[in-house]
Structure 1
Amino acid sequence: MRKLTVFFLAVVFAISGLTGNLVAKQYVIATATTGGTYYPVGVALATLTSIKLRKKGITANAISSAGSGENVDMLKNKEVDFAILQGLFGAMAYNGKMKYEGKPMKDMRSVTMLWQNVEHFVILSKYKKTGTITDLKNFGKGFSIGKRGSGTEGSGRVILSAFGIEPDKDFRTEYLGYTPSAQAMMDNRIAGANIPAGPPVSAITQLFATLGADKITVLEFTDQQLEQVRKVFPIWTRYIIKAGVYPGQKQDIRTIAQPNFLAVRPDVPAEDVYLILKTIYDNLPFLHNIHKATMAMKLEKAIDGLVVPLHPGAVKFYKEKGLKIPANLIVD
C-alpha cells in the first residue's frame, strides 16, 4: 500500500512541476486503516482531484485514520474537509442516535454514494461450528473488533448486539487494524477478526493466500440473521461474495453489507464540491483501475441510500445530470 501511495504522490508532483500553477486550496480526505478499502480509494480520489483540478487551484490529500468514528469527529472539529463514512455512522451521527444519542452532528453533508461496506467476520476454520455469525457466541478466543473508536469497532458491536454477543464476555477483545489483525491470526495470537470493506479486501486476501482457503472461514448470515440485524438499524442488505474473489475460495459467501458514502463539511464552497464530484464521475475508469470495489459506483446510483442531506454543490451536479433528488436530501 505504501508503494501505491508513493506512486500516486509521484504522479501529482510530476504534474505540478509541469503546470507550475499556484495551489490555492488543498483539501484533506479522511479514510481509514491502510489494510482496508477506504484508504486506497481515498488516495485515488485525492490523486484524481489533484491531477484534474490543479489548474483550478484545487488539490487534495488523503490521510489514514481509525475509520468512520474518528472521521465524524474530525469533520466536526474541522480537521478534515472530506471523509469516507459508513452509512451506519452517518445515520447515527446526523440523527443523534445510539452512540450519538442526544448529540446530533449536523455539520456534514453527503457528496456521493461510493460502494458497499461488506461484512467480513473471519475466523480460523478450526473454531467453526455453524459457519454463521452466531459462532462468535461463547467463542472464548481472541477476536479483533477493530481499532478503538473506529467505524469497524462501532458497526461490529451493533451487529453482534443483534445476537446477544458481547465483546469481553463472549471473546477476548483485541483492538487491531486490518493488516495487524490478519497478521495476528496468521501468528495464532488471535482466532478471528472483524474486517469490513469492499471485496477484495487486502487483509482477507492475505489470510486466504497465506493460510489457505480451508483454514479460513468468513462467517455467513442467514436470511433470518439478516433480519435480526436490520431490526437494530435497517441499513444492511444481502451481499454475496462470489467464489473466486479470494485465493482458493470455491464457494459463494453469503454475508451482508451497508453503504459507504463520501461526506463533506457544509462550509466547503459549493463550486469546489461540484468540480470534485464532476471530476469523479467523468473519470470512473481511473477509480475502477485502483480498486474493484469502485466498480459499484454509477451515476444513476449516486444518491441511492444516502442518509445525510446533500451538499449544495452536489445538488447542482445531480440536477444538471437529471437525477431526481428526494426532498429529504435537500436542506440548504
Structure 2
Amino acid sequence: MKKLSGVILATILTFSAALVGCGSQPAEQTSAQQPAAQQEKKEEKKEENKDFPKFVKIAGATSGGTYFLMANAMSQLLNEKIPGINATAQSTAGSPKILELLDTNGGELGVAQAGVADEAFNGKGQFEGKAMKNISQVAFMYPNVMQLVVRKDAGIKTPADLKGKAVAVGAVGSATEINSKDLFVGAGFNYPDDITPEYTSESQSADLLKNKQVVAGNMIASLGSSAMLDIMSTGEFEVLPIPEDMIKKLHDEVNVAYFPYEIPANTYPNQTEPIKTYAVANWLHARADVSEDFIYEVVKQLYENHDYLVNAHKVMENMTLETALNGQTIPLHPGAVKYFKEQGIEVKQ
C-alpha cells in the first residue's frame, strides 16, 4: 500500500506541475509579445518620418565664421529635436559653394547670401549659363552689413576715391568678392580693372590693412565680427559711409537683395557716430527636392527654439517671425510656405 501511495503521490505531483506549466504559458506569451509591440511602435514612428533624410548636411562657410557657427548650432538642435536624423555642419568656401552643394545633392541645408542665391537661381553673373534650379529659400536669418574699412590717413571719403587703389576684395569667387564687384559697379568702375584687387579672406584683409598693403578692405559680415572689433580697436581705421543714391542704384540696377542699413553708434571701438551703409540678407537655404514635411519640421524647431540659436550667436536675434521673409530673392521651399501660412504670414512666391 505504501508503494502504491507513493506512485499515486508522484502522479499527482507530475500532473500538478503540468497544470502549473500550462497556466504559465499565457504569461510567457505576453512577455514574448511585448518586444514585438515595441518594435511595431518603432516601425510606425519610422513610417511617419519615412521622407526625412537620415543624414543631414548643413553647409556653412569657413570654420570660425558666423555661417559655420550657425550651421553647427542648427545641426545640434535638429539632432536633439528630430528623432532618426544625423545632422552635421560642413565647412565650405562660402555662399557660391554652399548653393552649388545644395543644387548637386551634396547637402540638404545651407546658410548663404540671398543676393548670391538670386544670381545662382537665375543664372546671372558668375553663374551665367549654369542656373541652379534645385535650391530654395527657407527663412531669413540675419543681415550681412557692408563694412568698407579704409585707413584714416588714406584720404578716402567716398567709394569713388578708391579708383586705382589697392583694395582687399575677398577670396576669389566668394560672396565677399561678388559684393565687392557689385559695389564698384555701383560706383561706376570697371571691375576689377579700375582697382588693384587683393583676393583675401577676412583675416587676411585685416592683416593687409594693418600692414598698409591696401588702403581699403571689404569686411562685409554680421555686426560685431571679431575681425572688425580687432581692426577698429587700433583707432587707425574707419568704416566708409555709402551714399544713398549709390545704394538705390545697387538695389535697382545691380541686385534687389541690397537694402539700406545704419550701423549704430558705438558698435565698434572709436566709432562714436552712426554710419549709413547697406546690407544683404543671409538666409537658410534648402535643396528644393528635400521633403516638405522635413523642411516644415526644421522651420518649426528653429522658431520654437529661438533662444537656443541666440545663445549660440547674438546675431540670431534678427531671426523672428516678423522678419521671416526679409530680403527674399528666390522661391520658398514648400515646407517653409506651409509653416509660415500657419503662422498667418503672407507668403510671396
- What's the counterpart of residue 135 of structure 1? 161
1:27-176 mapped onto 2 (5 Å cutoff): 27-34=56-63, 36-53=65-82, 56-130=83-157, 132-139=158-165, 141=166, 143-176=167-200
Q: 1:254 to 1:112 in 2, by over 3 A?
A: same
- Counterpart of 2:232 (choices 208, 213, 216) is 208
The one-letter code sitting in structure 2 at the alignment partner of 1:39 is F
| Contact 1:117/1:260, CA 8 A, preserved across alignment | yes
C-alpha separation in 1, matches of 2:147 and 2:131:
29
Superposed CA deviations along residues 164-203 of structure 1, whole A, max 9, x for unmatched, are 3345533322211112222332233433221211111221
Q: 1:282 to 1:157 in 2, by over 3 A?
A: same
| Contact 2:185/2:191, CA 8 A, preserved across alignment | no
| Contact 1:146/1:174, CA 8 A, preserved across alignment | yes
TM-score (norm 1): 0.83
C-alpha separation in 1, matches of 2:62 and 2:210:
19
Q: 1:311 to 1:24 in 2, by over 3 A?
A: closer
SS of equivalent residue, structure 2 residue 280? strand
SS of equivalent residue, structure 1 residue 198? coil
The one-letter code sitting in structure 2 at the alignment partner of 1:134 is A
C-alpha separation in 2, matches of 1:24 and 1:151:
28
1:244-259 mapped onto 2 (5 Å cutoff): 244-259=266-281
Alpha-carbon deviation of 1:250?
Answer: 1.1
The one-letter code sitting in structure 2 at the alignment partner of 1:118 is V
C-alpha separation in 2, matches of 1:161 and 1:72:
24
Superposed CA deviations along residues 6-26 of structure 1, whole A, max 9, x for unmatched, are xxxxxxxxxxxxxxxx99723
- What's the counterpart of residue 55 of structure 2? 26
Alpha-carbon deviation of 1:36?
Answer: 4.1
Q: 1:292 to 1:172 in 2, by over 3 A?
A: same
Q: 1:228 to 1:24 in 2, by over 3 A?
A: closer
Alpha-carbon deviation of 1:125?
Answer: 1.6
The one-letter code sitting in structure 2 at the alignment partner of 1:74 is L
Unpaired segments of 5 or more residues in structure 1? 1-21
| Contact 2:144/2:282, CA 8 A, preserved across alignment | yes
- Counterpart of 2:215 (choices 191, 203, 209) is 191
C-alpha separation in 1, matches of 2:109 and 2:145:
22
C-alpha separation in 2, matches of 1:67 and 1:260:
12
SS of equivalent residue, structure 1 residue 155? helix
SS of equivalent residue, structure 1 residue 204? helix
The structure whose Rg is larger is: 2
- What's the counterpart of residue 319 of structure 2? 297
SS of equivalent residue, structure 2 residue 224? coil
The yes-or-no answer on 1:221 pairing with 2:213 is no
Unpaired segments of 5 or more residues in structure 2? 1-45, 47-51
- Counterpart of 1:271 (choices 293, 298, 305) is 293
The one-letter code sitting in structure 1 at the alignment partner of 2:160 is T
C-alpha separation in 2, matches of 1:35 and 1:145:
20
| Contact 1:36/1:197, CA 8 A, preserved across alignment | no
C-alpha separation in 2, matches of 1:234 and 1:319:
24
Superposed CA deviations along residues 265-304 of structure 1, whole A, max 9, x for unmatched, are 1222222211111111011122222323221111122123
- What's the counterpart of residue 345 of structure 2? 323
Superposed CA deviations along residues 119-170 of structure 1, whole A, max 9, x for unmatched, are 111122211331x32232222x3x2211111111112102211213345533
Q: How many residues align?
A: 298
Percent identity of equivalent pairs: 32
TM-score (norm 2): 0.79
Q: 1:267 to 1:67 in 2, by over 3 A?
A: same
C-alpha separation in 1, matches of 2:268 and 2:204:
19
| Contact 2:238/2:271, CA 8 A, preserved across alignment | no
C-alpha separation in 2, matches of 1:244 and 1:292:
17
| Deviates further, 279-288 or 266-275 | 266-275
| Contact 1:36/1:178, CA 8 A, preserved across alignment | no
- What's the counterpart of residue 310 of structure 2? 288
C-alpha separation in 1, matches of 2:282 and 2:58:
14
| Deviates further, 200-209 or 170-179 | 170-179
C-alpha separation in 2, matches of 1:36 and 1:228:
30
Please tell me the root mean square deviation across aligned C-alpha atoms, in Å.
2.1
